[in-house]
Every structure is written in C-alpha cells, then in structure tokens.
C-alpha cells in the first residue's frame, strides 16, 4: 500500500540490434553480410489493441515496444538476396527511450527471421526450392519470442492499487460513558456558559419537570454526551422518575426549573460558594440552591473517583447526576447503616464508601431494584 520494479529486470549482454548473422550454406557459399536491421523492422509508439504484455506504467501510462517483421508479407516481397556488407554502413539503432528489454526483443525476433532467410538463400544457391513453411516459421518464431518475453514480464508485474480508506470508528453512547477523559484537576475555565441546543421530550407521566443543560465553554468535553446522559439517567426506571411521580424534559430555550451545569473545577467552586458550599477541598460537585444551577464538576465527570474506580465510569456518572439533582428535589445526605449493602444514592459516595466504620458498595440509583 503505502519496490521491485514493475517492469522486470534489465537484460545485459551483446546488443540485439545491428549485429550481423553469419551462417554457412549447404554448398559452402558464405551467408555473411546479412544486416539484422534489414531482416527485422522496429516500431515504436502505442501498441495495437491485439498486442499483450505491455510494460505497466502508473495510472494508465503506456510505452513503445519492438515487434518483428510481419511474416505474412514475406511472400509478397519475395526472398531477400544478401549483398556484401560495407564496413561504413551504419547499423540500425533502437530509438531513444527504449529499455534493454526492448532491444533484446528486437534482437531475438531479428535473429529468428534472419536464420530463416539464410536457409532460403542457401536453397537458392543450390537450386532447391524454398520450403513453403519457411516464412510462417520465421513469423511464428518471432511471435513466440515476443509472447514468451511478455509472459515472463507479466509474472513479475505489480499492479498499482489505491489504499482503501479506513472508516472512522464511531463509539456508541454506552462506550463513551465508560471512557475517562483528560482534564486538569485545577482547571479554571472562562466562566462563560453555552446551552446545549435541542429538545428531548419527557418520556413518562407525572409532574413535568423542564430543565436546561449548560456547558462551560473551552473545557474540552462533549456537550451532547453530557446532555444525553442527564436525560437518560433522570428518566431511567431506577431513578427519580421511576415511580411515575415525575418525568424530565430537556429544553434549550424558555424558562427551566433549574439548569444542570457542567463546569471546570474552578468555576464550580465559584458558583458553589454563592450558596455557602466549599467544593475545592475534595474537588466535588454541588447543588447551588440559592441559584438556578446544579453544578457538576467537570473533573469528576471526566475522571471519576477512587470509590468507583476507572472500570465503573458509567455508573459513577449516573450517581453524580442523581445525587446532585436529588438535592434540588429536596433530599439531604443519607449514609449506609448495613455493612456490605448498596450505599444510598444520597450518600457522599465520591468521598467515601466507609462511613463510621460501615463499608457499603457503590450504587448510582434511587431504586436499584426496579
């Protein structure tokens, strides 16, 4: 994706073009002086449609190729009678841009044709007729030379391929709720809030409670994930709406009963102090009862607590929402009195699960058995 050349290994040795072919006829008349460039023709440019084995070029490029003389025209032109070779006669050259493989193919094809022509000349000198199959043999030999070379070249060919784009991994709500997110425990944000846009209808019956979700700008956490978590948690059968006495609806405009706010630790401390609460000691959340805001500390939302551990982030976030909204609904702190039992949702589970020597188990729900 993202080598070995695609067009094969260069062939070295004696150049195939311009080399005279020597032979001795049957009655001793020398057959020297037959220039190869007269026995074979060299053609460049684009191959015809019926020619296979073209050298691959990235993105559809094509290159010229050396071909043998057309054997079917040998009969029309008549036999070639060799003449003396002049030393000053220039030898045929393969056009510039041809590789060693092209010159080798030209030499192979030319040698095949020249050999047959030498046999024809020898037959004329001795008075014998040319075998009828000689022109066809020359053509077939040349074609085999081109085909075999093309086949071997194709065996080593690497077909260019485009990399397959990877689809982005999209995590589900449940997967995201199990993840911890990076955040500075001493972060103090801008103090500017932005309402999470959208409307989520109350799914149940009972008293309708409308609320809004605000997130502090620039803290680097997903506002939609937080808003979805609030709506799903509050309307869960195990939560405050479980008995049918109330149902929660999220709005982004109009007058809410309260505003659930995700804010940096520093900004959370500012708003909690407005209601006489100090959240800086344990970096916790609060219901700022004298204001409209239920404050959720972004550090706790992102990192959780040692009482639940990193493997129970989803459950911890549910407890965090239920506990602070429970204060807004009028519920005070409650502690566990039975060792090993589930802690009440209104216990300060972020701080400890061991109150007065009674250790309980973490619990995010108002009615865990529902």
What CATH number did the domain enclosing 320 receive? 3.40.390
240 and 345 within one domain: yes
Sign, CA dihedral 25-27-30-35, equals: negative
115 and 230, same structural domain?
no
* Domain-located, residue 139: yes
Q: Give pairs for 101-105: CB < 8 Å, separation 24+.
A: 101/7, 101/8, 101/10, 101/11, 101/55, 101/149, 101/153, 102/64, 102/65, 102/66, 103/15, 103/16, 103/17, 103/66, 104/11, 104/16, 104/149, 105/16, 105/65, 105/66, 105/145, 105/146, 105/149
88: region left, alpha or beta (phi > 0 left; psi from -120 to 50 alpha): alpha
Indicate the angle between helix axes 313-328 and 223-234, nearest 10 degrees. Answer: 70
Q: Total domain count for the chain? A: 2
Helix (H) / strand (E) element for 261: namely: strand 258-263
Same-domain pairing of 90 and 121: yes
Indicate if 87 and 139 belong to the same structural domain: yes
Regarding whether 277 and 213 lie in a shared domain, the answer is yes
Please report whether residue 150 resides in a domain.
yes
User: Is residue 366 domain-resident?
Assistant: no
The Cα 291–Cα 259 span in angstroms is 9
In a domain, residue 62? The reply is yes
Residues 250 and 335 in one domain: yes
Residue 21 · residue 118 · CB < 8 Å: yes
* Residue 160 domain-assigned (yes or no): no
**CA nearest 144: which of 36, 20, 46, 53?**
53
For residue 70, what are the contacts with CB-CB under 8 A and spacing of at least 6? 139
In a domain, 14, yes or no: no
How are beta strands 354-355 and 358-359 bridged, if at all? Answer: antiparallel
Q: Beta partners for 259?
A: 212, 293
Say if 370 falls within a structural domain: no
Please indicate, yes or no, whether residues 326 and 282 belong to a single structural domain of this protein: yes
Could you tell me if 192 and 299 lie in one domain? yes
User: Is the model's pTM score more than 0.85?
Assistant: no
One pLDDT digit (tens) per residue for the chain, 370 residues: 444 444 444 434 444 344 444 444 444 444 444 443 443 333 344 444 443 444 444 433 444 444 444 444 444 444 444 454 444 444 444 444 444 544 554 454 555 545 544 444 444 444 444 444 444 554 555 455 445 544 445 455 666 678 888 888 899 999 999 999 999 999 999 999 999 999 999 999 999 999 999 999 999 999 999 999 999 999 999 999 998 999 999 999 999 999 999 999 999 999 999 999 999 999 999 999 999 999 999 999 999 999 999 999 999 999 999 999 999 999 999 999 999 999 999 999 999 999 999 999 999 999 998 7
Same domain, 278 and 143: no
Please enumerate in sequence order all residues whose Cβ is within 8 A of that of 234, keeping only pairs 6 or more positions apart, or say none.
240, 241, 248, 321, 322, 325
Query: Domain limits at 47?
Result: 36-155
């Amino acid at each position: 994706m993202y080598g070995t050349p695609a067009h094969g290994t260069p062939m070295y040795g004696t150049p195939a073009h311009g080399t005279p072919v020597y032979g001795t006829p049957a009655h001793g008349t020398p057959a020297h002086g037959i220039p190869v460039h007269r026995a074979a023709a060299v053609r460049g440019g684009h191959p015809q449609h019926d020619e296979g084995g073209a050298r691959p070029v990235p993105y559809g490029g094509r290159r010229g190729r050396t071909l043998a003389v057309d054997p079917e025209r040998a009969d029309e032109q008549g036999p070639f009678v060799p003449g003396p070779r002049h030393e000053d006669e220039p030898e045929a050259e393969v056009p510039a841009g041809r590789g060693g493989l092209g010159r080798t193919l030209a030499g192979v094809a030319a040698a095949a044709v020249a050999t047959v022509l030498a046999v024809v000349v020898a037959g004329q000198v001795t008075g014998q007729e040319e075998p009828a199959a000689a022109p066809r043999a020359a053509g077939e030999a040349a074609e085999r030379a081109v085909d075999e070379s093309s086949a071997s070249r194709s065996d080593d060919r690497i077909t260019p391929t485009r990399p397959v784009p990877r689809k982005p991994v999209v995590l589900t709500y449940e997967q995201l709720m199990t993840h911890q997110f990076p955040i500075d425990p001493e972060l103090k944000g801008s103090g500017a809030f932005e309402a999470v846009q959208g409307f989520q209808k109350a799914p149940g019956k009972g008293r309708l409670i409308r609320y809004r979700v605000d997130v502090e700008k620039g803290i680097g956490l997903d506002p939609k994930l937080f808003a979805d978590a609030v709506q799903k948690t509050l309307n869960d059968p195990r939560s405050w709406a479980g008995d049918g006495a109330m149902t929660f609806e999220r709005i982004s405009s109009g007058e809410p009963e309260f505003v659930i706010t995700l804010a940096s630790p520093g900004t959370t401390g500012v708003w909690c102090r407005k209601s006489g609460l100090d959240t800086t000691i344990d970096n916790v959340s609060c219901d700022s009862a004298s204001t409209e805001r239920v404050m959720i500390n972004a550090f706790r939302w992102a990192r959780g607590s040692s009482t639940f551990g990193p493997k129970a982030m989803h459950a911890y976030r549910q407890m965090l929402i239920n506990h602070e909204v429970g204060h807004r609904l009028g519920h005070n702190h409650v502690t566990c009195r039975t060792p090993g039992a589930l802690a009440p949702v209104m216990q300060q589970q972020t701080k400890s699960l061991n109150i007065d020597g009674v250790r309980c188990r973490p619990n995010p729900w108002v009615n865990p058995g529902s």
